[in-house]
Structure 1
Amino acid sequence: MNDVIQNEQELFDELEAICKSPGYLHAIAYFCFRDNTIRYKDGEMVVDDVIQQFSFERLVRTEISTLIGLACKEQLDITHPGPKCIQEYIDKTESILESLHKTMMPPLEEIFDKRKLGDPIFNPFRTGKALRESIFYGGEAAYSFQYRDLALIKYKNDSDWFQRNKGYSIEDAEKIVSSLLLLQNDKVSDLMPTQLKALSSEEWTMLPAFVFSDKELSEKSGVDIETTKSFLGSFVCPPEIDRNQFSALDDFNPMNAYPIIRVGESEFILFQNYGLLEALYETPFFWFNADDTYKVKARENRGLFTERFSEERLKIVFGEDRVFTNINIYKDKQTRVGEIDVLVVFANRAIVLQAKSKKLTIAARKGNDNSLQEDFKKAVQDAYNQAYQCAEYLNDESYRLVDCFGNELKIYRNFESIYPFCVVSDHYPALSFQARQFLTYQATKVIKNPFIMDVFLLDVMTEMLQSPLHFLSYVNRRVEYAERILSNHELTILSYHLKQNLWIDSDISMIQLGDDICADLDLAMLTRRNGAPGIETPEGILTKYKDTTYGQLIAEIDRLDDPATIDLGFMLLSLSGETIEKINDGINQLCELHKADGKHHDLTLGVDQGKTGLTIHFNGDKANVAGPRLKNHCEKRKYALKADTWFGLCLDPVSRKIKFGLELKFDWVQSDEMDQATKYLPKPQSFKNGGRVVFSTIRRNGKKIGRNDPCPCGSQKKYKKCCLI
């Protein structure tokens, strides 16, 4: 054993010794209160209250779970040891944990092997030594209430097994865990101003906030006492499990699977409500596996859960008629070459989702290189390979798409972009980081970089981005920036997007996002799913322009489901706040001009340093007149600015609703004819001092356009029969 591992083991043994000290549970109670409780005042929770959870002084849940597991390796002693002793426990524990954290980060000379630095395929972060720290300290991939809510769905088809073998249904379990959270919140709230005030400082402890009886819980939940006892008993560590097997930091900790501590015939301790909710979601897997008569059925249900859950969540965004499941792909009548678990089709975009139900093994958590890569292959790489292959077939109309009922799927097949999704059903530690190191993938012009996620991230994305355009726009940029964003959590990146609109300039090679950025999203999800008294939507892209003309355009493009406008929607969602304000202002001014004179008016803006642009026409003309006019105008604008793409919109000047749209996307080629046609084309609208759009009289060579002159919009008509009307 090398020196680093030996040092780590010595620290672990030292930590175990202090955790077994008399009354150590009072120190654990302090850590749980300090680090797992969000405190707020005035009846409202705000982002600053949530940011407390990102303090570097805070112990992460895996650290506290380690303390609990070590303390429970032998008979518990809950005697109050006195405040001085508790403080010594706290100080000593924090010191050891800090040292332990340092030992899990191997020296740079071990990661960066000098002999391999010249090898272009050498990746120092693919080793188990480099990944152990991320796996242990990476934090939570799921919110606690997600474990509760998703367990109800995950085990819906297993509820009879729970009733027969455990004495409660999954619905009973959900009621009990929800009520236990409320009960412990009440106890924490009562303890601070009431109970502690009645005690001398020598007797102060937070432990009573985590102690409860089965009777209390039964009354709180409304579930009968016998059923409540059955539930509690199933999450108390069974005597046949050897708790001493937890002898190193990465070993299986029985208290993670069985987090309820029995301290009397009817009294219990639960230090981390999160741990119980995670156990409710994870531990039944091991119960089922031990039942030879049921484990095959349980695995079937587990696989179906990931697919069905993904399907239902995506339907919230895209609707029933755009989401398909279990689509078989046939090369000919007999030869099936692939199966798509979930397929989403929106305009000329598609999502190909492959679901997997694989866990990270104990050997992998310990940093075994072979186990890490083998687990990743089964959980992610295989799913991606399937998704990519199916994406190739999807855009080839020689392959038939057939649903599970044998009906051929007749859908749009000329996709502009296909996004491979790989979704795992369980918490897979450091999933994004591992994907960055291990995933072998390729991308084409159509098939984009993969998006690797668990069901919890998909749940949050579909909760917060409940419009096809917003959802796909985020996905498009997230996968495009796959190698240019560093973050411990995918939720942090999503939170940043909701606040700031995810965008990385081409001259920036990498950005790193701090964990505390996630506080806005955390608060929104706590409010939506757990009834916290806070705001439901972070202030940002979903709120700022919702009731503006720009917001109306985005909503309309969503409803149109039209390939001609979906790219325009992507472009609009990528704009800066300043540009959005200018569009709103310009449209408002043009509407006022139309009210005053009833004539055609237009707005042209160059975007992304002239690489693309937008022309908006306002008129009440019929499509056979307005359509060619807009197309000609956009062609000339695109040519004049040598743009890669150009978008056109025709709006009704009264309702401001979209009449139609178009996209021009082709390479710029010099043309004498177009040079002549654009010679006198006015410049796009300008912005006065970075503020309002400036509209001026259209002039050519200093002369006002005559009624019989060619219209400058490029329609080839006389001005009096076109924009002068």
Structure 2
Amino acid sequence: MGLTNRNESEVFADLVTLTAQPGYVYAVAQICHRDTLVTYRNEYTADDLSDLYDPERLIRTEINTLLGLMMRQPLDLTLPEPSQIKAYVARSDELMAELHDAMSGSMFDTLIGNAASDADHENVWKGAMMREPIFYGSESAYSFQYRDFFLEKHSCDDDWLRQNKGFTSRQAQQVARAMCSSMDSRASKLYLGDKVAKQAADDLLAHFEFTAEQVSQKTGLDIGIVQAVFDALTFNGDNAAFQEFGDFNSVAATPLLPTGRGSVLLFMHYAIYEALYESPFFWMNADPLYRQQASDNRGGFVEQFAYRRLAAVFGADNVFTNVNLIKKDVVAEADVLVIFGDRMIIVQAKAKKLTLAARKGHDGQLKIDFAAAIQKASDQAWECATAILSGTCRLVDDKGREITPPQSIKEIYPFCVVSDHYPALAFQVSQYLKYQTTEIVQPPLVMDVFLLDVLTEMLDTQLRLLSYVRLRVKAVKSVMTSHELTALAYHLHQNLWLDPDLSMISLHDSIAGDLDVAMTVRREGVPGKRIPPGILTHMQGTLYERLIMQIERRADVGVLELGFELLSMNDRSCRNIHEGLAGITALAAKDGKRHDFTLVVDEGKTGITFHCNPNPDSSAINDLQLHSEKRKYVQRANVWFGVSLSPAGDIQFGMTYDAPWVRSAALDELTKGMKSPMRMESVIKTLERSLRVEKPGRNDPCLCGSGKKYKKCCLS
């Protein structure tokens, strides 16, 4: 279907009529089976997820819209003829496609009009323009993240939940998990029997139907507790407030739909897990005596979450919470501070939610909400960074410990972390965020707790996490994506280093398939690959990887920068390093002498000289230093690294030279006649020839060391 001539309100009116038809709920059941279930055999793979990226499928926000409109009147369980259900499904698809066209068309018309009138770019993306990205944006979280983080977020509210709702956070999670598990097992039986096409509509609906008795038996919980969870999450009323797109849809907050026959319907895992994570805010906010405590608990959750995830990567000794920067008084505060070598991360955490008016595209409210959370966090991170760099502040954490910052700080990375889903967060950041940078203070990286979780799960060492952050902030203006998970997935696949001449790349959500699989395998226990194929797998077992692992275990600034350089390389350069290291370490082990090679990267602006020293003495450091300085000068490079390794491939010492190239009469004389480094292909061939063992003559000593002639020993 091409761009429609109808506006959103006209399409909405048709959807209202369609969803009010008798038995429309059976069409929803078929749509959910078609568009929300993932089937796989033996091993879960990215290919199994391909249908989820099909633009023809209905996404969760679209299905919730259908459910919300359907519940504007009592649920009608009249069973239509199969042909009628099929017609309902087809018409739903048509209208949702038309809706997208109407919303997109309005947005593009405005963009074209602004471009024709030379409107200021900063004023182009008004709130109304954000409605399409907000409605159709990628999911912020995996459903299992909502499920698992619900306990972290609300276990401290258990007393209130027990007294006011009749259950604890863990009991609510058990109920939701049991319902979702039952949905999976029911669907698996259906698909294993290859009975999908033959399944009767009422049987298909039954896959989404539950009673408190069933869940009580499955969980072992008292039926009263199960019923209390049902009561808290069951839709009641007529959803009359849902009059247009962006209005509050009660089905999102209460996804259990009452059938009137003692059961409820739950159509999606995501719906109940998200509701558990989000809805307690509204319950507790309605209690004036608990409102402030609930707010404090939410804020504490974000800070503690960020601390735990970052401490798992950097070590608890390098991560600090609630760090006050003090002159005479407190001038700034970092919610979480990470120190690794000469790098720092400043985390500012916020629990501010996006309001309904902002989600509807109200320009003023959207910017107010953004300013109250994202912009404020970014500004606070900048204040902390400048206070630290002033050198006039004491740093004291919430345990009263005095923190000593690095003597020389190379880079500071601001992290702005929010606790809740902000629709189209990456897009909002690209349009609205204002920030300052210096050579040391980098652009802020904005994320929710869900992205921070995935970052620290997949990049679980200091060097790899910081390397990605460095590349991501460097490419902050040149990567267009609907969600930061897509940028991370691209990096895991082939590294996020971008050609400086590249102005912009756009990343499709389907790039995240292997990452989605890896996270599901890790958190849900399904069979499949725990590591996405790419930069974490393609050099396994090589000397390149061994070198990276050694750098990761040390915060030595002499080799830390080298680690970042190595992790930004393409596959060919990584292979060259492995083969070069294999050659010089083997030669050194064979003849006991020092061997070396040099690799030039980044169009000659950067280079690395590797030495392999079997018996390093005090002169080895001087030799490597002089060799690296001469190579840097001859190459006219800005950055040069020198690394000394043992024949076993262990780092002995390293050094970094980072300064613009300037002409020197002394170095001109010292490097007179010194040629540029050999191409790596030639280096590797030379090393291979040197390692090749020549066959001895008949009367030569035998290679086995027996002292006999070859003809009287191993030749026979």
TM-score category, normalised to shorter length: over 0.9
Superposition map of 1:33-432 within 5 A: 33-41=33-41, 43-105=42-104, 106=106, 108-114=108-114, 117-118=117-118, 121-123=120-122, 125-192=124-191, 206-239=204-237, 243-264=239-260, 266-332=262-328, 335-432=329-426
User: What stretches of structure 1 of length at least 5 have no aligned partner?
Assistant: 699-725
How far 1:124 moved relative to its partner?
5.7
- Residue 406 of structure 1, CA deviation: 3.2
In structure 2, the residue corresponding to 1:243 is in which secondary structure? coil
RMSD: 2.0
The answer as to whether partners of 1:395 and 1:413 remain within 8 angstroms in 2 is no
CA offset digits 1:29-58 (Å, max 9, x no partner): 0111111100112x2111100122111111
* Alignment map for 1:701-712 (pairs within 5 Å): none
**2: CA distance, partners of 1:181 / 1:693:** 59
Q: Over residues 103-156 of structure 1, what are the superposed CA-to-partner deviations in whole Å (9 max), with x where a residue is unaligned?
A: 11215442244588546x423642122210000000201000000010110012
Instruction: Give the secondary-structure state (helix, strand or coil) at the position aligned to 2:177.
Output: helix
Cα distance change on mapping 1:562 and 1:115 into 2, 3 Å: closer
Q: Deviations over 1:4-53 (max 9, x none)?
A: 99831121121011111111011000111111100112x21111001221
Question: What per-residue deviation string (whole Å, max 9, x for no partner) do you get for residues 395-446 of structure 1?
Answer: 2221111112333212324210000110000000011100100001121100
Look up the SS of the partner of 1:483 in the other structure.
Answer: coil
2:552 aligns with one of 558, 580, 594: 558
Q: Aligned AA for 2:181?
A: L
Q: Secondary structure at the match of 2:604?
A: coil
2:654 matched residue in structure 1: 661
Deviates more, 1:46-55 or 1:631-640: 46-55
**Distance between the aligned counterparts of 1:633 and 1:170, measured in 2?**
63
Structure 1 SS opposite 2:240: helix
Query: How far off its partner does 1:190 sit?
Result: 2.5
Aligned partner of 1:544 in structure 2 is 538
Distance 2:442 2:178 in 1: 44
Query: CA–CA distance in 1 between the matches of 2:402 and 2:371?
Result: 32
Q: CA deviation at 1:265?
A: 5.2
Deviation sequence 1:214-241 (CA, Å, 0-9, x none) = 22212222222221111111100244xx
**Aligned partner letter, 1:658:** I
Q: Is there any run of 5+ residues in structure 2 with no aligned partner, and where? A: 691-716
| Cα distance in 2, alignment partners of residues 328 and 217 from structure 1 | 48
Contact 2:326 2:393 (C-alpha < 8 Å) held by counterparts:
yes
CA distance in 1, matches of 2:685, 2:345: 38
Cα distance, 1:517 vs structure 2:
0.4
Partner of 1:481: 475
SS of 2:603's equivalent? coil
Give identity over the alignment, percent: 42
Please list the CA deviations of residues 162-208 of structure 1 after superposition, one character each: whole Å capped at 9, or x if unmatched. 111111111111222112111111111233466958x9777576212
Letter in 2 for 1:669: V
What residue identity is the alignment partner of 1:302? Answer: R
Larger displacement relative to structure 2 (410-419 or 483-492): 410-419
The SS at the match of 2:132 is helix
Aligned equivalents of 2:107, 2:130: Cα separation in 1: 13
Change (3 A) 1:124 1:94: farther
1:548 Cα deviation after fit: 1.1
| Residue 721 of structure 1: aligned partner | none
3-state DSSP class of the match of 1:244?
coil
Report the Cα distance in structure 2 between the residues aligned to 1:159 and 1:58, rounded to whole angstroms: 39
Please say if residues 107 and 129 of structure 2, whose CA atoms lie closer than 8 Å, have aligned partners that are also in contact: no
Please name the residue that 1:525 is paired with. 519
Measured in 1, the distance between the counterparts of 2:681 and 2:545 equals 23
Shift of the 338–693 alpha-carbon distance from structure 1 to 2, 3 Å rule, reads farther
CA distance in 1, matches of 2:199, 2:689: 80
CA distance in 2, matches of 1:192, 1:405: 55
Residue type of the partner of 1:262?
Answer: P
Task: Give the secondary structure class of the aligned counterpart of 2:322.
Answer: strand
- Call closer, same or farther: CA 1:623–1:438 in 2, change over 3 Å: farther
Secondary structure of 2:413's partner?
A: strand
User: Paired residue for 2:14?
Assistant: 14
Tell me by how many angstroms 1:330 deviates: 1.0
Q: TM-score scaled by structure 1?
A: 0.92
Q: Match for residue 575 of structure 1?
A: 569
Contact 1:11 1:96 in 2 (8 A): yes
In the alignment of these two chains, the number of paired residues is 686
1:395/1:414 contact within 8 Å kept? no
Please say if residues 324 and 332 of structure 2, whose CA atoms lie closer than 8 Å, have aligned partners that are also in contact: yes
Is the 8 Å Cα contact of residues 518 and 528 (structure 2) preserved in structure 1?
A: yes
CA distance in 1, matches of 2:538, 2:6: 55
Comparing 55-64 and 356-365, the one that deviates more: 356-365
Counterpart secondary structure, 1:395: helix
In the alignment, structure 1 residue 679 sits paired with structure 2 residue 701: no
Decide whether aligned partners of structure 1 residues 697 and 44 sit closer, same or farther in structure 2, where only a CA change above 3 A counts.
closer
